[in-house]
Amino acid sequence: MATTATPAHAASTPRVLPASAGRANFAGALGSEFTKIRSVRSTYWTLLALVVVTVGFGALACWGAATHEHGPFFDATQRSLGGLYISQLVIGVLGVLVITAEYSTGMIRTTLSTMPYRGTIVAAKAVVFTVVALVTGLITCFASFFLGQALLASHHLNASLGQPNVLRAVIGGALFLTASGLLGFGIGLLLRHTAAAISTVVGLLFVITLLVNFLPQSWQEHVDKWMPAIAGTQIWSTLPNPPGSTPVFAPWTGFAVFCVYAAIAVIAGLALFRKRDA
Amino acid sequence: MIEARGLTKRYGDTLAVDDLSFSVEPGKITGFLGPNGAGKTTTMRMILGLDRPTAGEVTVAGKPFPRLTHPMREVGALLDAKALHGGRSAYNHLLCLAQSNNLPAKRIPEVLALVGLTDVAKKRSKGFSLGMGQRLGIAAALLGDPQVLMFDEPVNGLDPEGILWIRNLMKALAAEGRTIFVSSHLMSEMENTADHLLVIGRGKLIADCTVEEFIAANSQTHVRVRTPQLDQLAKLVATAGGSVREDGDGVMVVSGLDVGQVGDLAYENSVRLHELSPLQASLEEAFMELTASSVEFHAGVPSQPEMAGEVA
């Protein structure tokens, strides 16, 4: 296509773009997706809910523990990060919304009719979401840890970042949140509908973990550790499980299993997104 | 320049678009006309790569849209004014679109001014009226200063002022040498706007002609005559160069002669007339007739339509 080179004095008319401008690429898509995520209020509400839920429940759990509990397997770090059991769902919802809000609003049609490289769009969305989730997750997990330890300190139950595995657990909490969000992201790509995708995320993170409890004990030992929420949450424990409890994966192994689940969802979602009519 | 070759889209058992081949030329407004459900939107979605054709292909500037390196520079489209996140401000909506194509942000206030939305740039689009939404969609389409512009039913639901604005904008853009492709289900709208027409019905192309050709072929005056001496008058008309279609009940419809000629012919030959009236198929009705019986027609200038209405 020939684009007329426009003299500078014509700046007030519609034809003002230099011929070279306007290449669609990954860098552009990154900027675009960052604008999208920062320019809607639901992002801020969801992230605020994430911080409040994580820090709040962590503090509550530590306050309870400080007055009641001090067994040999008490994991002060894990306790202060206990809010993650709930907030994994909040970040999962944000991951879902990053995709499904495009469908529910119809924005996806505008997105794809201006930036038709589908793989590039998904990659840019995933990178932007990962950065947002990781940064928020790190802030949240460190805040939860320090507040929780402050509450536990009155009973000398507190841990410090210098103790074995503690730093790994706190950073691991943020990684766990990010991976939970990406699981939601992938499910959102697969299902495209907000309600269906959120239900599925709840099912994968909560419901199937509960259902495993109905299996015979001997099966549970083999199945339990593979459950997404059980595998993933090992990354933020600092002590081995008490003897006699159902076996679980080592922290990084468990987290890797969790990441594989998230990766399957994202890759399958991407494959469908590239193929489907929008 | 948009070119479709054998473009076909099937949804399950339904053939939404059936082997369409056409080209949309620059420098004029091409109207894409068809009743609701004829396949106009599906065709436009395939042009933009939103839907994948079941068969055939469509290119813009020689390439399928998803393979263009500068998509917004080549094509601007307004398919649906509601296809945006209502929680985002007009400015941020345009910003995220501009960024994806590395268009300069200074372009945003320019297009906002062009469509008259400067004052509400920071407002969330959720609260916009239909007309404002339409203008925002057009601003988005114009962001990349594209050579090809597509509008799907752009005047639907707009007030007369909005309709006039869009019409004039399309004319101005076409006059700049751009390719304008605009769909409508209203012939009357196209009559006032388009230079060229693509008419589809049930997914098939049934006319590809200029508006003048369409009017010439479809808006001839016919004469309705009721007479007890039908055979006699029919012969006279044929001799005088007109053609006749009998309509039963002693009524016939004459084409090729005007009311005066038919009346004089009857008077001079002592044929009694019980009724003599001019008939005019409006373009709207001609179009409806054409699309209703779509299978009978093929690309090219449509042949004479059935009589569809009466103007006394």
Q: Are residues B200 and B242 in the same domain?
A: no
Residue B311 has a pLDDT of 40
CATH code, domain carrying B272:
3.30.70.100
Q: Are residues B120 and B234 in the same domain?
A: no
CB contact under 8 A, B99 and A32: yes
Count of alpha carbons within 13 angstroms of residue A243, beta-carbon side: 1
Count of alpha carbons within 13 angstroms of residue A68, beta-carbon side: 6
**Would residue B198 count as lying in a domain?**
yes
Q: Residue B237 sits in which domain range? A: 221-280
Helix (H) or strand (E) holding A60: helix A41-68
Q: Tell me the residues of chain B between 73 and 132 that have a Cβ less than 8 Å away from chain A.
A: 73-75, 77, 79-80, 82-89, 92, 95-97, 99-104, 107, 110-111, 114
The pLDDT-based confidence of A151 (bands split at 50, 70, 90) is: very high
Q: Are residues B111 and B166 in the same domain?
A: yes
Q: What distance in Å separates residue B10's CA from the closest CA in chain A? A: 12
Of B49, B71, B84, Cβ closest to residue A24: B71
Please identify, among B157, B178, B210, the residue that sits at the C-terminal boundary of a domain.
Answer: B210
Dist CA B22 CA B25 (whole Å): 10
pLDDT, tens digit, 9 for 90 and up, residues A225-262: 999 999 999 999 999 888 778 889 999 999 999 999 99
Residue A69 has a pLDDT of 63
Dist CA B106 CA B108 (whole Å): 5
Nearest to A121 by CA among A216, A34, A246: A34
DSSP-derived 3-state class of residue B171: helix
CB contact under 8 A, A28 and B74: no
Q: Write the DSSP symbol of residue B14.
A: E
Dist CA A166 CA A162 (whole Å): 7
Q: For residues B237-258, b (16+ Cβ closer than 10 Å) or e, as one string?
A: beeeebebeeeeeeebbbbbbe
pLDDT, tens digit, 9 for 90 and up, residues B139-169: 999 999 999 999 999 988 788 988 999 999 9
Q: For residues A239-251, b (16+ Cβ closer than 10 Å) or e, as one string?
A: beeeeeeeebbeb
Residue A17: closest C-alpha in chain B: B145
Helix (H) or strand (E) holding B6: strand B2-11
Other CB atoms within a 10 A radius of the CB of residue B111 amount to 24
Amino acid (one-letter) located at B29: I
**Would residue B295 count as lying in a domain?**
no
Of A21, A40, A277, Cβ closest to residue B50: A277
Q: What distance in Å separates residue B186's CA from the closest CA in chain A? A: 25
Q: Does A277 touch chain B (CB under 8 A)?
A: yes
The structural domain count of chain B equals 2
ipTM of the complex, rounded to two decimals: 0.88
DSSP-derived 3-state class of residue B186: coil
Please report, for chain A, the start and end positions of each structural domain, with discontinuous segments joined by +: 26-275
- B61 chain-A contacts, CB cut-off 8 A: 1
pLDDT, tens digit, 9 for 90 and up, residues A35-67: 999 999 999 999 999 999 999 999 999 998 877
Q: Are residues B6 and B125 in the same domain?
A: yes
CB contact under 8 A, A32 and B176: no
C-alpha separations of B243 from A38, B249, B255, B300, B305 in Å:
70, 18, 5, 23, 14
**Would residue B126 count as lying in a domain?**
yes
Mean pLDDT on B195-208 = 91
Please identify, among B210, B232, B247, the residue that sits at the C-terminal boundary of a domain.
Answer: B210
- B77 chain-A contacts, CB cut-off 8 A: 113
Give the range with max mean pLDDT: A63-72, A243-252, B95-104: B95-104
Q: Write the DSSP symbol of residue B35.
A: -
B16 and B202 in contact (C-beta within 8 Å)?
A: no
Residue A114: closest C-alpha in chain B: B72
